[in-house]
Structure 1
Amino acid sequence: MKRILWIALAALLVAACGGKKSRPAQSSARPAPRTFRAVTVPSTVPPEERRAYLRDHYWDNFDFRDTTLLAEVDTVAMVRALFAYVANFVAPDDRAAIDTLMRRASASKPMTEYFAMLAERVLHDPNSPARNDELYIPVLEALVSSPWLDRWERIAPQHDLRMASQNRIGRPANDFRYTTADGATRRMYDIRAEYLLLFINNPGCNMCKTVREAISASPMLNELIERGKLKVLALFPDEDLTEWQEYRPQIPARWINAYDKGCVVRDRELYDLKAIPALYLLDRDKRVMVKDAVDVGLIEWAIDHDDRKN
């Protein structure tokens, strides 16, 4: 699992550089880019408090007031630094840490936009192993309220904030109607089970096939399906029903295989469909337990650690 995450991070770092090839060496050597320098934890800090110290002081060596840094700093190293900060020192729901970071970066427009770009790479990119809407929301809030951005520059973060604020962990998921092959249309909220796994997928998507096979191969999930405690709703969100009909035999018979008639989910943006597949684990009350994931192991972990389960 860790190897997969770091492979994904490597791809993310390539994207941060635009995937460009190295230029040939120039005759006049340029100075090496400045890299991020992490703080050193004082020896007086007890071992059990080191993580909390680094959460609060990780960025102390970075001068947020100095915009000349932005022309000299190694952006790949900065993406890596933010990833390490989030992965090691920030809890998945610790919005305060990211809010503080963005407040420090708000010293100028260039610094605000630079850290927003880093956060987009680490916290919002569909390919990032650290993607987390809860942590990305403070970034978007900082942009929307920033005195450095005009009303036109706020349009994109306002839209992204609205999307990120939907279907949040611990809150009710957006309801919608789905249609099955027999033409029957039902509400997602009418599905009765201890858990509901919403699997938004496309027939021609290789990753969708991988996720589908991972669900089918999970002894834990299959036992829950067999006992009626877990139901899987495989939802096709697009318009080409011919493609969906041809793909129907690939969906296990015990799953609910459906499509979004009229593309309401997409057009009303009830769920973020910029990256497919997407898994949402909902509890019996349709509150979100896992949001927009592709890791079936995370689904298993969430169910296994559910305090309300019987």
Structure 2
Amino acid sequence: MRKFIVLICSLFCCNALLAQGYNISVQVKNYKNGYFYLGHYMGKQTYLVDSALVDANGNAVIKGTKALPGGIYMIVMPKKDRYFEILLDKQQTFSVSNDTADFIHHATFKNSPENETFYAYNKYLFTESKASEKVKTDYAAAKTPADTANVRNEQEALTQRIQDYRNNIIAKNPQSLLASIFKGMREPAVPPMPKKADGTLDSTYPYRYYKAHYWDDFNLSDGRLVRTPILETRLEKYFKTLVQIHPDSVIAECDMLISKAKKDREMYKYILWWCTYTYEQSQYMGFDAVFVHLVEKYYVSGQTEWLTEEQKNKIISRAYAMAPNLIGQPAAPLVLQDPAGKPISLYKIPSKYTVLVFWDPTCGHCKTEIPRIDSAYNASWKKRGVTILGIKTEGTKEEWTQYIAEHKLQWVNAWDPQYTSNYRRLYDVYSTPVVYLLDEKKKIVAKRLGVEQLDGFLTHLESLSPNKK
């Protein structure tokens, strides 16, 4: 069951809508009450935008005074448990009747030729589903290379038939929404590998060609594609499988796509949002640099006029919290105190590696992780030239010093009772524990690591050391 989101973020509100409005008459067999809902895609997410009461005859008219942006929409049943898709583009006054017994084969449209074409295509796919199932069966039963080759030929023939059907629709009405969707779904056809100067085949050619032509048929100036699932699918595939996993490479690709999308406001907004959100939440360490870059280049410079000041400032504040502690940057100076009140300066701690641990003696997670960090430190990190600078964030001084004594933490233990160092902002400490790894010059080489990750990272760094025997 698809989950529908009722509220639409202002990020996607369209201000330049057509004036004629929309008027969709809906009848679905066996429904005599409740509401029919109108929803649409935004990437892979779905949002509800309107509804209409079903009368005693099973009819409902979903209408509004302003036309809706083009895209793939859906008519959602009263319990929000089932739906069928429709296309909305220039023609937004039409009727549709359907039957829950089979939404594909019972859909009937009046005054909507594009939806008739859309459902003819869906019916065609249904007929080809038998061939698809046969391919799966034959593949499972294949026992010899010849069997596998035959199955591959079956699959290629099936794929070609479907593509031919789509190409026919594109040729007949190249400006239609359906044509734009089908073109956006095309995969680049990679030519045979050429030979290199030494006569061997260039094995990198297929990747390079595929990546270079990945967006050829996807119209980044067509904002209608924002309200379809294919845009987000294409973005995910591109960045996960074709773009080098390095912040600089990702930044270059994000800028390239955002630049191409600027011809259409809806496309620009979506791709900028997708890149921003994706790399703020990235699973890869160091990719917060992508988020910071995007915010500084597009948000701070005022290229997000659709956002409220509150929304924009929230995003900018998050980037500014991340900016001082990006991988590769010098760690922010910290002047703290030890338990006796003597000053401790981060940059005056001589060490091959410095592990910063921001922790709280009253934090349940810290009570689990701090002993594990200390155990690894005593077992091997100390021998590798590691110094741990443990910084108390919460709890009383008594709780802190008692914990240090009970667990015999032979670290450089420090705190900032007057909070003069501003460590929370400089090191983005909003939960505990937070761990940073610094090199000999106090440059950030890793952050937010668990014990096992940190141990592996230290091993990796040692393997790269020119002094390693």
TM-score after normalising by structure 1: 0.71
Q: Unmatched 5+ residue regions in structure 1?
A: 1-15
CA distance in structure 1 between the partners assigned to 2:241 and 2:293 by the alignment: 16
Q: Is the 8 A contact 1:281 1:290 kept in 2?
A: yes
Match of 1:143 in 2: 299
CA distance in structure 2 between the partners assigned to 1:275 and 1:59 by the alignment: 40
* Number of aligned residues: 284
CA distance in structure 2 between the partners assigned to 1:256 and 1:75 by the alignment: 51
- CA shift at 1:196, angstroms? 0.6
Q: Is the 8 A contact 1:58 1:85 kept in 2?
A: no
SS in 1 for 2:318: helix
- CA shift at 1:237, angstroms? 2.7
TM-score after normalising by structure 2: 0.50
Match of 1:186 in 2: 344
CA distance in structure 1 between the partners assigned to 2:445 and 2:417 by the alignment: 26
Q: Unmatched 5+ residue regions in structure 2?
A: 1-43, 47-78, 87-121, 123-180, 194-201
Q: Which has more strand, going by share of residues?
A: 2
Letter in 2 for 1:167: N
SS in 2 for 1:200: strand
- CA shift at 1:108, angstroms? 4.2
Match of 2:283 in 1: 129
SS in 2 for 1:280: strand
CA distance in structure 2 between the partners assigned to 1:250 and 1:102 by the alignment: 55
- CA shift at 1:156, angstroms? 3.5
Q: Percent identity?
A: 20
CA distance in structure 1 between the partners assigned to 2:461 and 2:239 by the alignment: 27
SS in 2 for 1:89: coil
Larger RCO, structure (CA 8 Å, separation 6 or more): 1
Letter in 1 for 2:190: P
Match of 2:204 in 1: 48
SS in 2 for 1:257: strand
- CA shift at 1:192, angstroms? 0.8
- CA shift at 1:261, angstroms? 2.3
1:168 aligns with 2:323: no
Match of 1:256 in 2: 412
Query: Greater Rg, structure 1 or structure 2?
Result: 2
- CA shift at 1:173, angstroms? 1.0
Q: Is the 8 A contact 1:166 1:270 kept in 2?
A: yes
1:84 aligns with 2:240: yes
Q: How does 1:7-46 map to 2 (within 5 A)?
A: 24-26=80-82, 28-30=83-85, 39-40=187-188, 42-44=190-192, 46=202
TM-align CA RMSD: 4.0
- CA shift at 1:191, angstroms? 0.8
- CA shift at 1:83, angstroms? 5.9
Letter in 2 for 1:135: V
Q: Is the 8 A contact 1:78 1:118 kept in 2?
A: no
Letter in 2 for 1:115: I
| Distance change >3 Å, CA 239–CA 70, structure 1 → 2 | farther
Letter in 1 for 2:443: R
CA distance in structure 2 between the partners assigned to 1:197 and 1:24 by the alignment: 52
Match of 2:382 in 1: 225
| Distance change >3 Å, CA 264–CA 145, structure 1 → 2 | same
| Distance change >3 Å, CA 253–CA 274, structure 1 → 2 | closer
| Distance change >3 Å, CA 56–CA 92, structure 1 → 2 | farther
Match of 1:5 in 2: none
CA distance in structure 2 between the partners assigned to 1:252 and 1:52 by the alignment: 56
Match of 1:67 in 2: 223
CA distance in structure 1 between the partners assigned to 2:444 and 2:429 by the alignment: 17
SS in 2 for 1:166: helix
